[in-house]
Structure 1
Amino acid sequence: MPKVLEFKLPDLGEGLTEAEIVRWLVEVGEVVAVDQPVVEVETAKAMVEVPCPYGGVVTARFGDEGSELPVGAPLLTVAVGPPQERAEAEDAESSEYSGNVLVGYGTAAATARRRSRVRPAAPVATPRAAPVAVRPAGPVPVISPLVRRLAREHGLDLRELRGTGPEGLILRADVESAVQAPDRAPAPAASASVDAPASRPVAPAAAPAGERVPLKGIRGAVADKLSRSRTEIPDATCWVDADATELMAARAAMNGAGGPKVSVLALLARICTAALARHPELNSTVDTAAREIVRLPEVHLGFAAQTERGLVVPVVRDAHRRNVDSLGAELARLTEAARTGSLTPAELTGGTFTLNNYGVFGVDGSTPIINHPEAAMLGVGRIIPKPWVYEGELAVRQVVQLSLTFDHRVCDGGTAGGFLRYVADCVEHPAVLLRTL
């Protein structure tokens, strides 16, 4: 007889606790091989394909496309037939996901359970009430911070809820059902004087009309990160206009010499790494708990990329060790991966400084929001012909506006201004970079 094995949504790493099913890649009744991708999911970091560690026939799928599942929830079941295949599947099951369980997240090792199993205690009889189920003190089986926050906002005690997820896991749907329950008692109001007249019931405010777009997935993660940046980082912005005519001429000369084409973004990335070598204060982060500024030895350069699923910031690793050609090749590779939604979490995390080329949207300037927990972001506007005083005479030059938003805790305006002025000097006189090559 075939043995039916259950494959659960694996630990996604990076603090991720849930994922949205975007597209099923297999049907019920279909034969799958070991490590074959079976579903495409979107996390707060990226779109990834989840491979199944078992080989056999798919007997059930759990969750419709567009629904969210917490880590540990069942994804599908597979009937494993031949004895040898069954033994291999059982070995995989015993090690909790041996092999490349999640593409882009690496191999998941066997780990101890991160949740404590909490089961309802036996009914306790009371003289004036019917028996009720009481949860003991201790951890509540909730894996998502969103669920805890939702319960807290509505004054719900999670220990009074019975979860419908695996192992009694309390899901978002459980909290929402409890909030909408008609017999739910209202939150206790402040005590009033006995002689005071009863207050009139207040009708609940009507929800505003209009289309509602859930803040989830990548867009939700970006919203949380930007909000945290504005809340925690005392930022300031300085900006300067620069004559980019010579930079554009140098780029044209490079491209005219043959070889891979050099992009403006690659040149700006090289200028950033040179500027950070002179002003390392801006390649840092703040440890608020220890009240320390941590200056980082490597430059992992992030760059903002707009996609159909929202804003993402791919990271060029060890940008300070790369020349213009290497930077250009990696920028092109990551941009294409962002466009197709195939970026891995490792390619979206760990940045130390961000370059934001918002000029591609046809705007001249902006005040960027720092990509938390970094300390600064350089913004670059569009490069367009403008009247400019050049060598004492009015001329039409290619002008760009540069802006630097920085964490005022890591440096003062003098350091930030020095960084931005060096960047502008390199844009206006690319030969300045020869000293750092």
Structure 2
Amino acid sequence: MGELRQFALPDVGEGLTEGEILQWLVAVGDTVTVNQPLCEVETAKAAVELPSPWAGTVTALLYEAGTMVDVGAPIITIDTGGGSPEAAAARDGGEPAAGLIGGAAPGGRTAVLVGYGPRTTEARRRPRRAGHAPAARPEADRSPETAASPRVPLLATAPDLTTKPVRHGGLEVGRAAEAHAAAEEASAGSAAVAPGSGRPRPLAKPPVRKLARDLGVDLTTLTGSGPGGVITRADVGAAAQVAAAHGADTGGTLLRGASGAETPPGEQRIPVKGVRKLTAAAMVASAFTAPHVTEFLTVDVTRMMKLRTRLAARPEFAGVKVSPLLFVAKALLLAVGRHPMVNSSWDEAAQEIVVHGQVNLGIAAATPRGLVVPNVKDAARLSLGELAGALGELTETARAGRTTPADMSGGTITITNVGVFGVDTGTPILNPGESAILAFGAVRDMPWVHKGKVKPRQVTQLALSFDHRIIDGELGSRFLADVGALLSDPGTALAF
């Protein structure tokens, strides 16, 4: 066996202190290369993949998927083999191995795809929270191989299989790793044992295990209906419904909330963490620190919709989505150029108004993980076609759960497109640190007075919420009127 190295959970940005391991993208016994994704971690900001800083063989996964881990805690052990160029470079403290990004980082670390690799200088590890650290086995039970590592893996060591899953990156890698782990456990005759329980470890994917924890269902009491006896979401849901209907235990464990109180039949408790927890805290802080004012405007956007049809057919817009949101974003950017004070923030400590030099346009996006607001950096410099591409990439990344903390930081003004849900408008809450947010409602066919006659026209509603410490009623009204005028008659953009 070569040199065993442990990779600690890095701070992937914004001074985070902990993260949840959503899923492992590798299994024990796998051979990994430099920068190959090891696992997917969810923080309060985003879900990110952590790349391997070394090449070698995975010998231990120190936490199960679904576990909250403190930043700085080792999460995986890799046998670097002692002979690979990458491992040698990492050991010798020389130049980063091929594939690593950048060079030395603060604290003697090396910058990788996200966050930093392990420290090359000694540092004091912060205390762990109760329940986060894996329990160590007695010294007598530890083999020489595991004794060389200061931490014992929670997951069972994989048997020696001749077949390994093929990995191509992203979610497909995660599915391959899950299938590989399930095949290993099935081939062992369900011999894998849950840590510290002495019972066979149930076959279930990480999202299913998380659902079972949230609902208080004991997976060891269930028989899986999936291939090879794998427990599915439907199995967990059925068990929870049975327990709720009969007011009985699920595998000897009552359905309980985080406080330990028994959950009444039919009631569900969902832990607040990750993006949802951060969003809740941000909305409360915004609502009770910035004096919100909301103004509304109903706009005839028939001309805008006709222009959208014409532009979508042009070759320069091939491959990008020409959506109504694109025109709203462009109108907002043009209006900010005329009213720069709208693109500002309030510095409470300095008692100053900070007028930003560029517009980092945030787009509120609903994702399975909750509401996220990534932003397009310096959006005003983009042409209409470039802006269309940036918005498309931003929304696709958010819906796939790949938005990084950097994508969600530094926003200066936001658009929330409630119209995609068939909603006319609302009173949006400001993103913390911003002075304005524009809600864009659904575009509907409505009777409208046009050139002295009532005709069917395409109409939408806009709602602008702003911080009244910075933006008074006149400025807010003029800004909203300019956005509306640009949407009603896009040709007026020539006058801006």
TM-score range, shorter chain: 0.7 to 0.9
Q: Choose which of 389, 392, 400 in structure 2 pairs with 1:332.
A: 392
- Are the equivalent residues in 1 in contact too, given 2:10–2:115 (CA < 8 A)? no
1:213 paired residue number: 270
Q: Choose which of 394, 400, 404 in structure 1 pairs with 2:460.
A: 400
2:17 paired residue number: 17
What does residue range 310-349 of structure 1 map to in structure 2 within 5 Å?
A: 310-349=370-409
1:31 paired residue number: 31
Paired residue secondary structure (2:54): coil
1:185 paired residue number: none
Matches of 1:37 and 1:313, distance apart in 2: 25
Matches of 1:107 and 1:243, distance apart in 2: 54
User: Structure 1 residue 72 and structure 2 residue 129: aligned?
Assistant: no
1:189 paired residue number: none
2:304 paired residue number: 247
Query: Letter of the aligned partner of 2:458 in structure 1?
Result: Q
Where do 5+ consecutive residues of structure 1 fail to align? 118-140, 148-160, 168-203
Change (3 A) 1:305 1:61: same
User: Structure 1 residue 279 and structure 2 residue 318: aligned?
Assistant: no
Change (3 A) 1:207 1:236: farther
User: Structure 1 residue 230 and structure 2 residue 287: aligned?
Assistant: yes
Matches of 1:332 and 1:108, distance apart in 2: 35
Q: Choose which of 477, 487, 494 in structure 2 pairs with 1:427.
A: 487
1:90 Cα deviation after fit: 2.0
User: Structure 1 residue 306 and structure 2 residue 363: aligned?
Assistant: no
- Are the equivalent residues in 2 in contact too, given 1:229–1:372 (CA < 8 A)? yes
1:387 paired residue number: 447
Matches of 1:429 and 1:228, distance apart in 2: 38
More strand by share: 1
1:378 paired residue number: 438
Matches of 2:352 and 2:66, distance apart in 1: 43
Change (3 A) 1:368 1:386: same
Aligned residue-pair number: 358
Change (3 A) 1:309 1:379: same
Paired residue secondary structure (1:365): coil
Matches of 2:132 and 2:418, distance apart in 1: 45
Change (3 A) 1:321 1:31: same
Change (3 A) 1:104 1:265: farther
1:36 Cα deviation after fit: 1.8
1:310 Cα deviation after fit: 1.1
1:355 paired residue number: 415
Matches of 1:400 and 1:164, distance apart in 2: 54
1:54 paired residue number: 54
1:3 Cα deviation after fit: 1.9
Query: Letter of the aligned partner of 2:424 in structure 1?
Result: D
1:192 paired residue number: none
Cα deviation 1:168-207 (Å, max 9, x = unaligned): xxxxxxxxxxxxxxxxxxxxxxxxxxxxxxxxxxxx9967
Paired residue secondary structure (2:474): helix
Matches of 2:463 and 2:134, distance apart in 1: 48
Change (3 A) 1:396 1:110: farther
Change (3 A) 1:339 1:299: same
Query: Letter of the aligned partner of 2:281 in structure 1?
Result: D
Matches of 2:384 and 2:473, distance apart in 1: 29
Matches of 1:244 and 1:255, distance apart in 2: 17
Query: Letter of the aligned partner of 1:405 in structure 2?
Result: S
- Are the equivalent residues in 1 in contact too, given 2:53–2:117 (CA < 8 A)? no
Query: Letter of the aligned partner of 2:297 in structure 1?
Result: V
Matches of 1:105 and 1:165, distance apart in 2: 24
1:21 Cα deviation after fit: 0.7
- Are the equivalent residues in 1 in contact too, given 2:19–2:69 (CA < 8 A)? yes
1:105 Cα deviation after fit: 4.1
Paired residue secondary structure (2:427): coil
2:5 paired residue number: 5
Paired residue secondary structure (1:259): helix
- Are the equivalent residues in 1 in contact too, given 2:63–2:134 (CA < 8 A)? no
Matches of 1:39 and 1:163, distance apart in 2: 18
- Are the equivalent residues in 1 in contact too, given 2:50–2:114 (CA < 8 A)? no
Matches of 2:438 and 2:131, distance apart in 1: 49
1:297 paired residue number: 357
Change (3 A) 1:89 1:434: same
Matches of 1:51 and 1:223, distance apart in 2: 30
- Are the equivalent residues in 2 in contact too, given 1:61–1:75 (CA < 8 A)? yes
Paired residue secondary structure (2:316): coil
- Are the equivalent residues in 2 in contact too, given 1:270–1:323 (CA < 8 A)? no
Cα deviation 1:336-360 (Å, max 9, x = unaligned): 1112122222212111000111100
1:83 Cα deviation after fit: 4.4
User: Structure 1 residue 264 and structure 2 residue 324: aligned?
Assistant: yes
Matches of 2:421 and 2:414, distance apart in 1: 17
Identity, % of aligned pairs? 41
- Are the equivalent residues in 2 in contact too, given 1:243–1:397 (CA < 8 A)? yes
User: Structure 1 residue 90 and structure 2 residue 91: aligned?
Assistant: yes
Paired residue secondary structure (2:60): strand
1:107 Cα deviation after fit: 7.3
- Are the equivalent residues in 2 in contact too, given 1:44–1:221 (CA < 8 A)? yes
- Are the equivalent residues in 1 in contact too, given 2:69–2:132 (CA < 8 A)? no
- TM-score normalised by structure 2 residue count: 0.67
1:258 Cα deviation after fit: 3.9
1:304 Cα deviation after fit: 0.9
Query: Letter of the aligned partner of 1:236 in structure 2?
Result: V
Cα deviation 1:4-53 (Å, max 9, x = unaligned): 11111112221211111111111112222222211111111211111121
Change (3 A) 1:112 1:318: farther
1:395 Cα deviation after fit: 1.6
1:100 Cα deviation after fit: 4.6
Q: Choose which of 428, 431, 434 in structure 2 pairs with 1:368.
A: 428
